[in-house]
């Protein structure tokens, strides 16, 4: 089988959720045949070559930068048909690079996220699986529901009259993203999301749930006894605005309430840090470590993994990591809880040994049943086999089936609308 994977980011090094997911997709599909990998690389993004044998061929191209003039912004406000993420983004050069590099025909094409599908979907020939592991409309919806907006540094701030244009833009983007996700999901052989909730949100019949996962550790790092002082761990990549908002929420609003209940405690913000999160450091009460070479030492000393996320969708790998390591988790259901509720939940987990044992036991069993990468990779393989056009009587690489032809025609009608003249 000849397989092409087209992605919005390079999967290695696999330091955060979307790259971990993509690396496991590559690994799963690599068991079925030869894999070609074509990806964007974001400005300033780090990368390292794939391990020997991970892919047959690979190529990176710079992600096109957006050129958003005032005239283009006005045209989008008045009549834009695509989400503003595509405003002023010229895919012509990368489309030429892709056409020169790809070696059709492929038995299966896997697109990771919508942007590369918009850029290249009309150029491929064969059945497509589109992985929409982050629903952009629901990321905006949850931000609006929490009453939040983006400040000029990319951090999250409470709305004011100055943020009204941004909120109006988001409202339009929500409608456009919702329509685009549904339309593109329906144009491919199968679409993939992270959770059953996201599958229902897309609402298209060919959407399949492929959850995120975590590799089972040889020995879980969690401990039953609570430390003195107790340690609350929040692992994240803090350059991502929802994580930065969560860090501020934890340190500035939740931690004082929790401290009033349990006394001394330590908050540890572990992961790649930006200036805004480094400014939260107040040792020993709040420790900002930056990126760490290994998570195990942090996990061994954690009494709670806190995930106070107020924005976003999908399955959070930091939660699965805690489940796998038998560490209690306290998390929001994306914006539904206030700081009092979150602090109360944390104090209960720290003070009630029976509750800690029960939470850890049930979460670890759930991880073993549903969220190990080994089992998820197997389900990816099964879906790929059922979606591909490989047939014992058809030479590998032939895309002559009705499925391939219909899928390609639908893609040409869909993705080209966003790459040809849309403001």
Cβ–Cβ < 8 Å for 303, 328: yes
Is residue 357 domain-shared with residue 411, that is, in the same domain? no
Phi/psi at 170 (nearest 5 deg)? -60, -40
Instruction: Note whether 190 and 53 are same-domain residues.
Output: yes
| β-strand partners of 21 | none
Cα separation values, 131 from 13, 207, 267, 390, 401, Å: 20, 9, 35, 21, 22
Same domain, 114 and 41: yes
Q: Is the domain of 15 the same as that of 52? A: yes
Domain that holds residue 262: 231-370
Q: Does residue 158 lie in a domain region?
A: no
Q: Are residues 205 and 343 in the same domain?
A: no
Long-range own/partner contacts, residues 330-338 (CB < 8 A, 24 or more apart): 330/304, 330/305, 330/306, 331/306, 331/307, 332/307, 332/308, 334/142, 334/309, 334/310, 335/142, 335/145, 335/146, 335/310, 335/311
**In the prediction, which pLDDT does 396 show?**
41
| pLDDT tens digits, 366-413 | 999 999 999 999 999 999 999 986 543 434 443 333 433 444 555 555
Using only C-alpha atoms, the chain has a radius of gyration, in whole angstroms, of 22
334 φ/ψ sector (left φ>0, alpha ψ -120 to 50, else beta): left
The pLDDT, as a whole number, for residue 235 is 95
- pLDDT for the residue 406: 40
Q: Closest Cα to residue 59, out of 33, 86, 96?
A: 96
The structural domain count of the chain equals 2
Q: Same domain for 263 and 358?
A: yes
Structural domain contains residue 226? no
Residues 187, 42, single domain; the answer is yes
Give the integer Cα–Cα distance in Å for 118 and 81: 14
* CA 52/CA 196 separation, integer angstroms: 35
Name the pTM for this structure: 0.87
> Do 362 and 384 fall within a single domain?
no
Tokens encoding 77: 């406000």
Within a domain: 148: no
Q: How far apart are CA 146 and CA 160, in angstroms?
A: 14
pLDDT of residue 323: 97
State whether 390 and 260 are in the same domain.
no
DSSP 12: -
Q: Two tokens at 261?
A: 């209940």
| Token couple for 278 | 């480094």
In a domain, 347, yes or no: yes
CATH number at residue 396: 3.40.50.11930
- Decide if 349 contacts 330 (C-beta within 8 A): yes
| Three-state secondary-structure class, residue 331 | strand
Ranges assigned E (strand) in 42-142: 57-62, 108-112, 128-131
- Same domain (yes/no): 326, 377: no
Q: Which helix (H) or strand (E) holds 330?
A: strand 329-331
Task: Give the per-residue pLDDT at 412.
Answer: 52
- Pick the closest to residue 164 from 142, 180, 149 (CA basis): 149
Helix and strand counts by DSSP (H, E) for the chain: 16, 14
Q: CATH number for the domain including 336?
A: 3.40.50.2000
On whether the CB atoms of residues 83 and 176 are closer than 8 A, the answer is: yes
Q: Which residues contact 390 (CB under 8 A, 6 or more apart)?
A: 1, 107, 396
State residue 19's pLDDT score. 94
The tens place of each residue's pLDDT in the chain, 423 residues long, gives 999 999 999 999 998 889 999 999 999 999 999 999 999 998 888 899 999 999 999 999 999 999 999 999 899 989 999 999 999 999 999 999 999 999 988 999 999 999 999 999 999 999 999 999 999 999 898 878 766 655 434 445 555 556 777 888 999 999 999 999 999 999 999 999 999 999 999 999 999 999 999 999 999 999 989 999 999 999 999 988 889 999 999 999 999 999 999 999 999 999 999 999 999 999 999 999 999 999 999 999 999 999 999 887 666 899 999 999 999 999 987 544 589 999 999 999 999 999 999 999 999 999 999 999 999 999 999 999 999 865 434 344 433 334 334 445 555 555 555 654 444
- The pLDDT of residue 145: 75
* Sign of the CA dihedral running 18, 319, 174, 44: negative
């Amino acid at each position: 089988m000849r397989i092409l994977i087209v992605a919005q980011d390079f999967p290695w090094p696999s330091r955060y959720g979307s790259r971990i997911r993509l690396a496991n997709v590559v690994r799963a599909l690599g068991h079925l045949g030869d894999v070609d990998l074509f990806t964007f690389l974001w400005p300033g993004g780090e990368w390292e070559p794939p391990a020997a044998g991970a892919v047959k061929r690979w190529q990176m191209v710079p992600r096109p930068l957006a050129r958003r003039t005032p005239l283009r912004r006005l045209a989008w406000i008045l009549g834009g048909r695509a989400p503003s993420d595509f405003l002023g983004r010229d895919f012509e050069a990368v489309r030429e690079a892709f056409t020169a590099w790809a070696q059709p025909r492929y038995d299966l094409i896997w697109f990771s996220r919508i942007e590369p599908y918009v850029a290249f979907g009309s150029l491929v020939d064969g059945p497509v699986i589109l992985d929409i592991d982050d629903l952009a409309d629901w990321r905006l919806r949850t931000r609006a529901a929490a009453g939040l907006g983006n400040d000029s540094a990319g951090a999250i701030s409470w709305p004011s009259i100055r943020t009204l244009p941004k909120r109006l833009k988001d409202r339009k983007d929500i409608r456009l993203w919702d329509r685009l996700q549904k339309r593109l999901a329906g144009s491919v052989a199968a679409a993939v999301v992270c959770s059953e909730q996201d599958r229902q949100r897309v609402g298209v019949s060919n959407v399949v749930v492929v959850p995120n996962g975590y590799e089972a550790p040889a020995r879980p790092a969690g401990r039953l006894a609570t430390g003195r002082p107790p340690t609350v761990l929040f692992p994240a990549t803090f350059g991502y605005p929802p994580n930065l908002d969560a860090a501020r929420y934890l340190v500035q609003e939740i931690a004082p309430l929790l401290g009033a209940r349990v006394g001394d405690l330590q908050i540890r913000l572990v992961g790649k840090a930006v200036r805004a999160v480094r400014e939260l450091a107040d040792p020993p009460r709040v420790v900002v470590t930056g990126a760490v070479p290994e998570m195990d030492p942090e996990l061994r000393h954690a009494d709670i993994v806190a995930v106070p996320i107020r924005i976003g969708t999908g399955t959070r790998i930091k939660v699965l990591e805690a489940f796998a390591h038998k560490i209690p988790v306290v998390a929001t259901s994306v914006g539904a809880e206030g700081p009092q509720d979150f602090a109360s939940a944390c104090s209960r987990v720290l003070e009630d040994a029976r509750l800690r044992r029960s939470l850890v036991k049930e979460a670890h069993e759930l991880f073993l049943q549903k969220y190990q990468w080994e089992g998820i990779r197997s389900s990816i393989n099964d879906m790929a086999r059922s979606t591909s056009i490989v047939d014992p009587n058809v030479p590998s690489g032939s895309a002559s089936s009705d499925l391939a032809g219909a899928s390609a025609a639908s893609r040409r009608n869909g993705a080209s609308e966003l790459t040809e003249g849309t403001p």
